[in-house]
Amino acid sequence: MQLRKVMEKDQDKILHEVTQSEYKYGFVTDIESESIAKGLNEDVVRLISQKKNEPEFMLEFRLKAFRYWQKMKMPEWAHLQIPEINYQDIIYYSAPKQKASGPKSLDEIDPELKATFDKLGISLDEQKHLSGIAVDAVMDSISVKTTFKESLADLGIIFCSFSEAVQEHPDLIKKYMGSVVPYTDNYFAALNSAVFSDGSFCYIPKGVRCPMELSTYFRINAANTGQFERTLIVAEDDAYVSYLEGCTAPRRDENQLHAAIVEIIANNNAFVKYSTVQNWYPGDKNGLGGIYNFVTKRGKCAGENSKISWTQVETGSAVTWKYPSCILLGNNSVGEFYSVAVTNNHQQADTGTKMIHIGKNTKSTIVSKGISAGFSNNSYRGLVKVTKNATNSRNYSQCDSLLLGDKCGAHTFPYIEVDNKDSIVEHEATTSKIGEDQIFYCNQRGIKTEDAIGLIVNGYAKEVLNKLPMEFAVEAQKLLQISLEGSVG
Amino acid sequence: MSTEIVNTDIKIKLLDLFQENLSVIKNDSPDYINKIREKAIELFSKLGFPDKKNENYKYTDVKKEFDNGYKTYLSPKNIKFEIKDIFSCDVPDLNTKVILLLNGWFYDRENLLQELPGGAIIGSLQKAMEVYPELVERHFAKYADMEKEGLVALNTAFVKDGIFLYVPKGVVIEKPIQVINVLMDEEEGFTSHRNLYILEENSQASVVVCDHTLSAVNFLTNSVAEFFVGQNAHFDYSRIQNEHNGSKQISHLFFHQEKDSKVTNNTISLHGGVIRNNISVLLNGEGCENNTYGLYLTDKGQHIDNYIFIDHAKPNCISNQLFKGVLDDFATGAFNGKILVRKDAQKTQAYQANNNILLTDDADIKTRPQLEIYADDVKCSHGATVGQLDENAMFYMRARGIPKKEAKLLLMYAFAHEVIQKIKVPALKDRINDLVEKRLRGELSRCNSCQMHCCNT
């Protein structure tokens, strides 16, 4: 009894510390930026297009999307409580001021800006960079600098900012943009299609295996702005690429909107691996401020034997609304989704995936691990749909939830729709807290309760963390530690 | 757009029907019921029919079923028959007390309320409203949530008759009570009966409900049943749905469980054109146990949708859900199970499983096992599978000379058996075993139980 009391006290203390943990990327860079006025109308859409010096087809795409968006209503089906968002109170375009022609070399980049990314641990200084990751750094949805561009170009790989791709490879953009996530897809996709300012574009030609990890780092800096970026990855036949995405934002009392689109196309035998460590500012411990994260991510396994794998570690954002999906169109294509979502304090997450089996012999795996603490709510929402023609398809889903505290919630909303007799679909989920026996076992062996919780949480998330590229796995593990600080050593 | 107008029409038609027949409807109902009626019709006019945009009705379009313009009866039709002449029960060797409901009306008009040993009462709800106003008032429309569900409001507004069961404190009814719901008429009909089951502290009862259609015309049923299961009471409720393909059945069951009570509910769906079962359970005291099991065997164009909602409002409760289904031909099915564990419902154990076998490419199944959990010290799990019969088991049997057809039957039978074995009344269990076997062989039709031979399907 005595021991139990001590343990409970310990746990209370630890959970208390968890709720006290601070967001360490919350600084603001004092950098000159160029913004347009608040508000959204057709003129703003035209202005953005004009500022980016876009060809006619882009403006048309934006306007069509904007007109469609105006007719839509914000979706309310998610298990989230979102205060009404005033879309007229947001700045839709903000860019760090740069010299007119854009940076030619490192010396031309604003030193403040470089310092920001250095502080975040993202080195733009490629000569000294050893880890071998090519980075496209995006601040306030404007691409700041893409590293290793030239050496990648030798292999025929195009890796650049989206605006650059619009200028230099309009045919590719025209062909693929909106082919996976059309602007009519949903409310936030329409909004993004109308006002997106930049993002990354990546094209891997036939037969090329990208020799390094490609990475985009997103940073929101300016106040009152929304960040709307768009990523497009095209892998031609037999190509391979591993793509990483990271994000942070300063600490502010008001909520900021982030609505992004990621589109992936994998042709025959291509393999695209997309990893995200999402660490937007989650708001303070009373739920004030934080990023509203509404993201549409979708991959299309267009070719036979193609494969798309999503791995995500979601620790940030006040509200997360995100369902990285796979359309398994090609025969024998494979879709994967691995997710760890941590919510603390007043964070809310409604995240999951969609696996749409259309081709024959398609396979998908879903592993989702939710961890909720504080007053947070963490939901898994996923759809597995097997159409009539997708014979011999196979899906396995597992979604587990771990509850740390009695004021948080963990929810599971799977949708399974099967329309043929040869397919096998399995779904299982459990919800539990860390067992007292597990902690007792560790304590008995001289491991402190604090370390024990760390061990158990880490072990719990290991299955997903293992799927991350090595450099990211380390960062993700650290993030998990920060999010649950106090419980993990 | 056009369906919208038609649907508005049927809603308005029903509202008009209510106003026009107000005196008939309100006549011979006590005031307290009529007060609830008024509130219900108001709610119905506000809520209307759930459409497919309603997440809970995503996979079943109930609105469409109402458009057929069924007639509704405000007083019992005078159909005279001797039950033995037209109907032989599917569970003949069951030693039960048999109660008959014809088109939603208590059949034995001479003997509307019957006393059972120990002071328990079974009979017509309409009569009970008059004879036991206090008892009915205390429980009627207290558990069925009509604020959210237009169909429950509709049923409540038109409420007339149905089953009333009252088991007083400490009374144990040994014999199972069998309720036979018969739908029989020359023209298409709409029935909306209402049942009220009250089990007081430490009581125990077991009820078997069989749904049958005895004429070839189409039927639409929208029934509501409320169950109050008092402290430490044990209640066993089994339902066998065996209606023809022209019948549409929407049923709403609301279980309210008090401390330490135990409820087991089996729903065996053998036949039916469209079946929608809504089962909601509120565990309103510590130490409750609820078992909700279901088996559905569908073929041709049949459609079944089970919607289960278990509300763990208090700590230390256990709930189990197991639903299994075999879908053949171009049958469609849906399962929606939701477990809600409220904030203080610590030490909850809640399990949910849904397993489906699809026999053809044209059959399809949609399943949504959901958990919504706000307490940390819980053990909750759910699982759902969609697949086929085990090939290895099939091979094993075929290697031993069992013909393919027989092997397939055996496997399906074994699959279904997990649910059947949960039935507690032994005679009923045996009988359902038989019925399921027959059903899987394709030998069971609704005409099995009918002596009238009015159709040859």
Distance between CA atoms of A355 and A384, rounded to whole angstroms?
Answer: 5
CB pair distance less than 8 Å for A427 and B368 = no
Tens of pLDDT along B263-275? 999 999 988 899 9
Lowest mean pLDDT among A214-228, B63-77, B305-319: B63-77
User: Vertex B272, ends B270 and B274: CA angle to 5°?
Assistant: 130
Q: Which residues of B touch A77 (CB under 8 A)?
A: 55
Report chain A residues whose CB lies below 8 A from the CB of B353. Answer: none
Q: Do A430 and B378 touch (CB under 8 A)?
A: no
User: Per-residue pLDDT for B312 more than 60?
Assistant: yes
Q: Which residue of B has its CA nearest to A398?
A: B383
Residue A328 CA to residue A404 CA, distance in Å, equals 36
A403:B383 CB<8 A: no
Contact flag A428-B356 (C-beta cutoff 8 Å): no
3-state class (DSSP) for residue B256: strand
**Chain B CB contacts of A424 below 8 Å:** 385-388
Do A230 and A199 form a contact (C-beta atoms < 8 A)?
yes
Contact: A416, B366; criterion CB under 8 Å: yes
Query: What are the φ and ψ backbone dihedral angles of B200, each rounded to 5 degrees?
Result: -85, 180
Cβ-based neighbour number of residue B355 at 10 Å: 20
In sequence order, what are the beta bridge partners of A225? Answer: A91
Pairing of strands A33-35, A94-96: antiparallel
pLDDT, mean over chain B: 85
For A302-438, list the strands marked E by DSSP.
Answer: 307-314, 319-322, 325-328, 334-343, 348-351, 354-357, 363-373, 377-386, 394-404, 409-418, 424-433
Whether B98 shows a pLDDT value over 90: the answer reads no
Exposure on the CB side of residue B285, measured as CA atoms within 13 A: 19
**pLDDT at B196 (0 to 100):** 95
Q: What is the pLDDT of residue B28?
A: 75
Q: Residue A99's pLDDT is what?
A: 44
Which of A416, A424, A457 to probe the B interface (max B CBs under 10 A)?
A416
Rounded Cα gap, residues A2 and A8, in angstroms: 10
Contact B369 A424 (CB under 8 A): no
Q: Helices A436-444 and A449-465 meet at what angle, rounded to 10?
A: 120
Q: How far is A349 from chain B (nearest CA, A)?
A: 13
Question: Exposed/middle/buried for B442, CB within 10 Å: 0-12, 13-18, 19+?
Answer: exposed
Quote the pLDDT of residue B1.
Answer: 32
**pLDDT at residue A458 in the model:** 81
- CB atoms < 10 A from the CB of A175, how many? 12
| Cβ–Cβ gap A422/B360 under 8 Å | no
Q: Using a CB-CB distance cutoff of 8 angstroms, which residues of chain A are in contact with residue B364?
A: 417-420
Residue B452 predicted with pLDDT over 60: no
What Å distances lie between residue A183 and A62, A177, A230, CA to CA?
A: 9, 10, 12
What number is the average pLDDT over the span B141-157? 90
**Nearest residue in B to A415, CA atom:** B368
Q: What is the pLDDT of residue B227?
A: 96
Number of A/B CB contacts below 8 angstroms equals 117
Which residue in B356, B367, B375 is closest to A406 by CB distance?
B375
What tokens does A297 get?
Answer: 């991510």
pLDDT at B229 (0 to 100): 96
Structure tokens, A127: 């000569």
Inter-chain touch B360–A411, beta carbons under 8 Å? no
Ordered by start, the domain boundaries in chain B are 2-449
pLDDT < 70 stretches in chain A: 1-32, 96-136, 138-147, 471, 481-489
Q: What is the pLDDT of residue A126?
A: 46
Tokens of B190: 């709409």
How do residues A339-355 score in pLDDT, each as one tens digit? 999 888 888 999 999 99
State residue A19's pLDDT score.
44
Residues B388, A421: C-beta atoms closer than 8 Å: yes
Q: Where are the alpha helices (DSSP H) in B21-124?
A: 22-26, 31-47, 62-66, 83-86
pLDDT at B388: 85
Q: How far is B245 from B136, CA to CA, in rounded Å?
A: 35
At B246, list the tokens.
Answer: 């022209």
SS3 assignment, position A264: strand
Residues of A with CB under 8 A from a CB of B: 77, 79, 386, 388, 391, 401, 403-433
* Dihedrals phi, psi of A166, to nearest 5 degrees: -60, -40
Q: What H or E segment, with its residue span, contains residue B406?
A: helix B404-420
Whole-complex ipTM: 0.80
Residue A383 one-letter amino acid: L
The token pair at B154 is 């509709």
Does pLDDT of B105 surpass 80? yes
B271: amino acid identity, one letter: H
Contact A412 B370 (CB under 8 A): yes
CA distance B441 to chain A (A): 19
Chain A residues with CB inside 8 Å of B386's CB?
386, 416, 418, 423-425
The predicted-structure confidence for A255-299, as pLDDT tens digits, reads as follows 888 889 999 999 999 999 998 888 888 887 777 888 889 999 999
Average pLDDT over residues B178-200: 87
pTM for this prediction: 0.83
The token pair at B20 is 């026009």
Integer Cα distance of B379 and B382 in angstroms: 10
Confidence bin at B3 (pLDDT 50/70/90): very low
Residue among A79, A403, A419 minimizing CB distance to B376: A403
Q: Which two tokens stand for residue A145?
A: 């600098």
The identity of residue B292, as a single letter, is T
pLDDT of residue B51 exceeding 90, the answer is no
Is B374 in contact with A408 (Cβ distance < 8 A)?
Answer: yes
Query: What is residue B58's predicted lDDT score, i.e. its pLDDT?
Result: 85
Whole-number Cα distances in Å, B124 to A82, B101, B155, B309: 49, 9, 16, 28
Query: Is residue A372 a contact partner of residue A343, using CB atoms and an 8 Å limit?
Result: yes
Instruction: Name beta bridge partners: A227.
Output: A258
The pLDDT of residue B451 is 43
Q: List the Cα angle A316/A319/A321 in 5-degree steps.
A: 100
What is the predicted pLDDT for the residue at A102? 44
Which pLDDT band, with edges at 50, 70 and 90, does B95 fall under?
A: low
When scoring B330, B372, B394, B412 by the number of chain A Cβ atoms within 10 A, the one with the most, hence best to mutate, is: B372
**pLDDT value of position A12:** 57
Cβ neighbors of A73 (< 8 A, separation 6 or more) are A187
User: Are residues A412 and B358, on separate chains, in Cβ contact within 8 Å?
Assistant: no
Name the residue of chain A whose CA is nearest to B381's CA: A430
- At A44, phi and psi to the nearest 5? -65, -45
pLDDT digits (tens, 9 = 90+) for A457-471: 888 888 888 887 776
